[in-house]
Amino acid sequence: MAICRRVVLRFPKNLVEKPFVYHLVKDYNLQFNILKAQVTPSEEGIMSLELKGQKDNYNKGIEFLTKAGVTIEQLGQNISKNEERCTQCGLCLSVCPTPALALDQKTRQVSFNSNHCIACEMCVKVCPVKAMEVKFD
Ligand code: SF4
Ligand code: SF4
């Protein structure tokens, strides 16, 4: 069975330079799409990516990463905005790392475009009325 998952990988300082993504492709036949990558001030590497492949290969790839010392967090697959709950307070705009949440200049409403969303869930944490919702597969 083929699956597609969004995950956040955290690499400790000593692993930042290692070619883990290369191994996921070569050894586990996974496809990837890097959504965001950065190195924090403490030199920890954080990479948000979408991984696709056969389920058993995906599981083996995740096991390989875990054994190597990479921390993995699986992200919610679908984020949606409950328009009835949203009070347009704008809090989520300040934490969204992508253009997924934006202020519509004409209507002055907060709009959500799922095509840009990387499911980091930052908006879910800050929304005071729980208008940003996560659904898992
Ligand atoms: S989960 Fe929320 S904060 Fe993260 S990218 Fe999507 S809309 Fe933006
Ligand atoms: S934080 Fe919640 S209530 Fe405020 S604009 Fe964003 S989705 Fe709407």
Among all bound ligands, the one having the nearest atom to the CA of 84 is 2
Q: Tell me the CA end-to-end span of the chain in Å, nearest whole number.
A: 14
- Domain identity same for 56 and 97: no
- Domain identity same for 54 and 106: no
Tell me the per-residue pLDDT of 76-93, one tens digit each, with 9 for 90 and over.
Answer: 668 899 999 999 999 999
- Domain identity same for 89 and 125: yes
Q: Indicate if ligand 1 lies below 6 Å from the C-beta of 110.
A: no
CATH code for position 82? 3.30.70.20
- Domain identity same for 7 and 64: yes
- Domain identity same for 66 and 84: no
| Number of domain units in the chain | 2
Tell me the per-residue pLDDT of 105-127, one tens digit each, with 9 for 90 and over.
Answer: 999 999 999 878 877 888 999 99
What lies within 8 Å, CB to CB, of 98 at 6+ separation is 36, 116, 117, 118
CATH code for position 37? 3.30.70.260
**Mean of per-residue pLDDT scores for the chain:** 90
Q: Indicate if ligand 1 lies below 6 Å from the C-beta of 123.
A: yes
Residue nearest to atom 4 of ligand 1 (CA): 120
Q: Which atom of ligand 2 is nearest to the CA of 82?
A: 7
Quick one: what percent of the chain has pLDDT higher than 70? 97
Phi, psi of 18 (to 5 degrees): -75, 145
Q: Where are the alpha helices (DSSP H) in 1-137?
A: 20-26, 55-68, 122-126
Last residue of a domain, one of 46, 74, 102: 74
Residue 65: how many other CB atoms lie within 10 Å: 21
Q: Which atom of ligand 1 is nearest to the CA of 92?
A: 3
Residue nearest to atom 1 of ligand 2 (CA): 127
Predicted TM-score (pTM) above 0.75: no
